Protein backbone atom coordinates (compact mmCIF):
# COMPACT_ATOMS: atom_id res chain seq x y z
CA UNK A 1 0.00 0.00 0.00
CA UNK A 2 2.85 2.37 0.86
CA UNK A 3 4.52 1.78 -2.51
CA UNK A 4 1.20 2.26 -4.29
CA UNK A 5 0.68 5.56 -2.50
CA UNK A 6 4.19 6.71 -3.44
CA UNK A 7 3.59 5.64 -7.04
CA UNK A 8 0.41 7.70 -7.19
CA UNK A 9 2.29 10.72 -5.82
CA UNK A 10 5.07 10.17 -8.36
CA UNK A 11 2.66 9.91 -11.28
CA UNK A 12 0.80 12.98 -10.06
CA UNK A 13 4.06 14.88 -9.86
CA UNK A 14 4.97 13.89 -13.40
CA UNK A 15 1.60 15.05 -14.70
CA UNK A 16 1.96 18.30 -12.76
CA UNK A 17 5.38 18.97 -14.27
CA UNK A 18 4.13 18.15 -17.76
CA UNK A 19 1.14 20.46 -17.36
CA UNK A 20 3.34 23.18 -15.88
CA UNK A 21 5.74 22.99 -18.82
CA UNK A 22 2.81 23.06 -21.22
CA UNK A 23 1.37 26.12 -19.46
CA UNK A 24 4.78 27.80 -19.49
CA UNK A 25 5.00 27.20 -23.24
CA UNK A 26 1.52 28.66 -23.69
CA UNK A 27 2.44 31.68 -21.58
CA UNK A 28 5.63 32.19 -23.57
CA UNK A 29 3.63 32.19 -26.80
CA UNK A 30 1.05 34.58 -25.33
CA UNK A 31 3.78 36.94 -24.20
CA UNK A 32 5.35 36.81 -27.67
CA UNK A 33 1.98 37.61 -29.25
CA UNK A 34 1.45 40.48 -26.81
CA UNK A 35 4.82 41.92 -27.79
CA UNK A 36 3.96 41.68 -31.49
CA UNK A 37 0.50 43.22 -30.91
CA UNK A 38 -1.24 40.05 -32.08
CA UNK A 39 -2.83 39.96 -28.66
CA UNK A 40 -3.86 43.46 -27.67
CA UNK A 41 -3.27 44.58 -24.13
CA UNK A 42 -6.21 46.37 -22.62
CA UNK A 43 -6.68 49.99 -23.65
CA UNK A 44 -8.22 52.59 -21.36
CA UNK A 45 -11.95 52.98 -21.88
CA UNK A 46 -14.33 55.60 -20.62
CA UNK A 47 -17.50 54.97 -18.61
CA UNK A 48 -20.72 56.27 -20.14
CA UNK A 49 -21.19 58.75 -17.29
CA UNK A 50 -19.54 59.56 -14.00
CA UNK A 51 -20.78 58.09 -10.74
CA UNK A 52 -23.09 60.23 -8.71
CA UNK A 53 -21.23 61.99 -5.92
CA UNK A 54 -24.06 61.53 -3.45
CA UNK A 55 -26.90 59.12 -2.82
CA UNK A 56 -29.00 62.05 -1.64
CA UNK A 57 -32.12 62.46 -3.74
CA UNK A 58 -33.09 66.02 -4.55
CA UNK A 59 -36.74 66.90 -4.93
CA UNK A 60 -38.06 67.80 -8.41
CA UNK A 61 -38.57 71.35 -7.16
CA UNK A 62 -34.92 71.65 -6.10
CA UNK A 63 -33.71 70.23 -9.40
CA UNK A 64 -35.93 72.65 -11.29
CA UNK A 65 -34.54 75.54 -9.25
CA UNK A 66 -30.95 74.48 -9.94
CA UNK A 67 -31.64 74.28 -13.65
CA UNK A 68 -33.08 77.78 -13.56
CA UNK A 69 -30.00 79.10 -11.77
CA UNK A 70 -27.79 78.05 -14.70
CA UNK A 71 -29.14 81.15 -16.46
CA UNK A 72 -28.69 83.47 -13.45
CA UNK A 73 -27.21 86.90 -14.10
CA UNK A 74 -24.31 86.12 -11.73
CA UNK A 75 -21.55 84.03 -13.31
CA UNK A 76 -20.58 82.36 -10.04
CA UNK A 77 -24.17 81.32 -9.42
CA UNK A 78 -24.47 79.86 -12.92
CA UNK A 79 -21.27 77.85 -12.51
CA UNK A 80 -22.12 76.64 -9.00
CA UNK A 81 -25.54 75.48 -10.19
CA UNK A 82 -24.23 73.59 -13.22
CA UNK A 83 -21.41 72.07 -11.17
CA UNK A 84 -23.92 70.68 -8.69
CA UNK A 85 -26.17 69.38 -11.47
CA UNK A 86 -23.13 67.73 -13.04
CA UNK A 87 -22.08 66.07 -9.78
CA UNK A 88 -25.52 64.61 -9.17
CA UNK A 89 -25.80 63.67 -12.87
CA UNK A 90 -29.13 65.38 -13.48
CA UNK A 91 -31.04 63.60 -16.25
CA UNK A 92 -31.14 66.86 -18.22
CA UNK A 93 -27.48 67.75 -17.72
CA UNK A 94 -26.57 67.20 -21.38
CA UNK A 95 -29.17 69.71 -22.58
CA UNK A 96 -28.32 72.17 -19.79
CA UNK A 97 -24.61 72.27 -20.60
CA UNK A 98 -25.13 72.38 -24.36
CA UNK A 99 -27.45 75.34 -23.85
CA UNK A 100 -24.84 77.09 -21.70
CA UNK A 101 -22.16 76.65 -24.36
CA UNK A 102 -24.56 78.12 -26.92
CA UNK A 103 -25.87 81.06 -24.89
CA UNK A 104 -22.99 82.08 -22.61
CA UNK A 105 -21.38 85.38 -23.59
CA UNK A 106 -18.52 85.22 -21.08
CA UNK A 107 -15.48 83.30 -22.32
CA UNK A 108 -14.32 82.78 -18.73
CA UNK A 109 -17.58 80.97 -17.92
CA UNK A 110 -17.18 78.59 -20.85
CA UNK A 111 -13.57 77.85 -19.89
CA UNK A 112 -14.59 77.10 -16.31
CA UNK A 113 -17.39 74.92 -17.63
CA UNK A 114 -14.80 72.88 -19.54
CA UNK A 115 -12.77 72.61 -16.33
CA UNK A 116 -15.80 71.22 -14.50
CA UNK A 117 -16.41 68.62 -17.19
CA UNK A 118 -12.86 67.34 -17.50
CA UNK A 119 -12.52 66.63 -13.79
CA UNK A 120 -14.59 63.45 -14.24
CA UNK A 121 -13.72 61.78 -17.52
CA UNK A 122 -16.53 59.88 -19.22
CA UNK A 123 -18.05 59.53 -22.67
CA UNK A 124 -20.61 62.14 -21.67
CA UNK A 125 -18.06 64.72 -20.53
CA UNK A 126 -16.02 64.07 -23.69
CA UNK A 127 -19.05 64.66 -25.90
CA UNK A 128 -19.97 67.84 -24.04
CA UNK A 129 -16.47 69.29 -24.22
CA UNK A 130 -16.52 68.52 -27.95
CA UNK A 131 -19.50 70.88 -28.19
CA UNK A 132 -17.11 73.74 -27.37
CA UNK A 133 -15.14 72.97 -30.53
CA UNK A 134 -17.95 74.72 -32.42
CA UNK A 135 -17.54 77.96 -30.46
CA UNK A 136 -16.80 81.15 -32.39
CA UNK A 137 -14.06 82.09 -29.89
CA UNK A 138 -10.73 80.56 -30.90
CA UNK A 139 -9.48 80.49 -27.30
CA UNK A 140 -12.51 78.44 -26.24
CA UNK A 141 -11.90 75.95 -29.04
CA UNK A 142 -8.23 75.64 -28.06
CA UNK A 143 -9.21 75.14 -24.41
CA UNK A 144 -11.57 72.34 -25.46
CA UNK A 145 -8.89 70.72 -27.64
CA UNK A 146 -6.39 70.74 -24.79
CA UNK A 147 -8.96 69.24 -22.42
CA UNK A 148 -9.74 66.42 -24.85
CA UNK A 149 -6.00 65.80 -25.21
CA UNK A 150 -5.94 64.79 -21.56
CA UNK A 151 -8.36 61.88 -22.02
CA UNK A 152 -5.73 59.26 -22.97
CA UNK A 153 -8.25 56.96 -24.63
CA UNK A 154 -8.93 56.10 -28.26
CA UNK A 155 -12.48 57.49 -28.00
CA UNK A 156 -10.99 60.97 -27.68
CA UNK A 157 -9.34 60.98 -31.12
CA UNK A 158 -12.57 61.06 -33.20
CA UNK A 159 -13.80 63.86 -30.93
CA UNK A 160 -10.98 66.01 -32.31
CA UNK A 161 -12.02 65.61 -35.97
CA UNK A 162 -13.86 68.92 -35.94
CA UNK A 163 -10.79 70.72 -34.58
CA UNK A 164 -8.47 69.04 -37.10
CA UNK A 165 -10.57 70.70 -39.84
CA UNK A 166 -10.82 74.06 -38.06
CA UNK A 167 -10.33 77.14 -40.25
CA UNK A 168 -7.81 78.53 -37.75
CA UNK A 169 -4.33 77.04 -38.12
CA UNK A 170 -3.56 77.46 -34.42
CA UNK A 171 -6.56 75.31 -33.50
CA UNK A 172 -5.54 72.69 -36.06
CA UNK A 173 -2.02 72.64 -34.65
CA UNK A 174 -3.30 72.21 -31.09
CA UNK A 175 -5.55 69.39 -32.30
CA UNK A 176 -2.57 67.61 -33.86
CA UNK A 177 -0.65 68.00 -30.60
CA UNK A 178 -3.62 66.60 -28.69
CA UNK A 179 -3.85 63.55 -30.97
CA UNK A 180 -0.14 62.91 -30.47
CA UNK A 181 -0.49 63.30 -26.70
CA UNK A 182 -3.34 60.78 -26.64
CA UNK A 183 -1.33 58.37 -28.80
CA UNK A 184 1.73 58.61 -26.55
CA UNK A 185 -0.34 58.20 -23.39
CA UNK A 186 -2.01 55.06 -24.77
CA UNK A 187 1.35 53.64 -25.86
CA UNK A 188 2.80 54.40 -22.42
CA UNK A 189 -0.07 52.49 -20.81
CA UNK A 190 0.51 49.51 -23.12
CA UNK A 191 4.20 49.55 -22.26
CA UNK A 192 3.38 49.62 -18.56
CA UNK A 193 0.95 46.71 -18.95
CA UNK A 194 3.55 44.72 -20.88
CA UNK A 195 6.11 45.31 -18.14
CA UNK A 196 3.57 44.15 -15.56
CA UNK A 197 2.90 41.00 -17.61
CA UNK A 198 6.61 40.25 -17.85
CA UNK A 199 7.06 40.86 -14.11
CA UNK A 200 4.10 38.58 -13.35
CA UNK A 201 5.57 35.89 -15.58
CA UNK A 202 8.89 36.19 -13.80
CA UNK A 203 7.13 35.53 -10.49
CA UNK A 204 5.01 32.71 -11.91
CA UNK A 205 1.81 34.73 -11.91
CA UNK A 206 1.53 35.38 -15.65
CA UNK A 207 -1.92 34.83 -17.09
CA UNK A 208 -3.59 36.23 -20.19
CA UNK A 209 -7.24 35.31 -20.77
Domain count, the chain: 1
Using an 8 Å Cβ cutoff, are 45 and 151 in contact? no
- Give me the pLDDT at residue 137, please: 96
Q: Per the domain annotation, does 71 fall within a domain?
A: no
Judged against a pLDDT cut of 60, whether residue 34 lies above it is answered with: no
pTM: 0.71
CA distance 126 to 92: 16
Q: Per the domain annotation, does 167 fall within a domain?
A: yes
- CATH of residue 203: 1.25.10
Domain hosting 194: range is 135-209
pLDDT digits (tens, 9 = 90+) for 93-109: 999 999 999 999 999 99
SS3 content of the chain, % helix, strand, coil (to 5): 70, 0, 30
Using an 8 Å Cβ cutoff, are 50 and 88 in contact? no
Q: Per the domain annotation, does 84 fall within a domain?
A: no
Least confident of 41-45, 90-94, 105-109, 171-175: 41-45
Least confident of 36-50, 162-176, 191-205: 36-50
Using an 8 Å Cβ cutoff, are 135 and 162 in contact? no
CA distance 174 to 149: 9
Amino acid sequence: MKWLFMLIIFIGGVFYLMNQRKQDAINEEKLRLVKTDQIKVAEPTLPETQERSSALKFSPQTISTLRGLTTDSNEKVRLAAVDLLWQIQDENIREVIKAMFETETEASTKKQLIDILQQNKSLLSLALIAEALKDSDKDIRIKAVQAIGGYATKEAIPALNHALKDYDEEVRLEALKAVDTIRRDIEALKKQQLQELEAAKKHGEFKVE
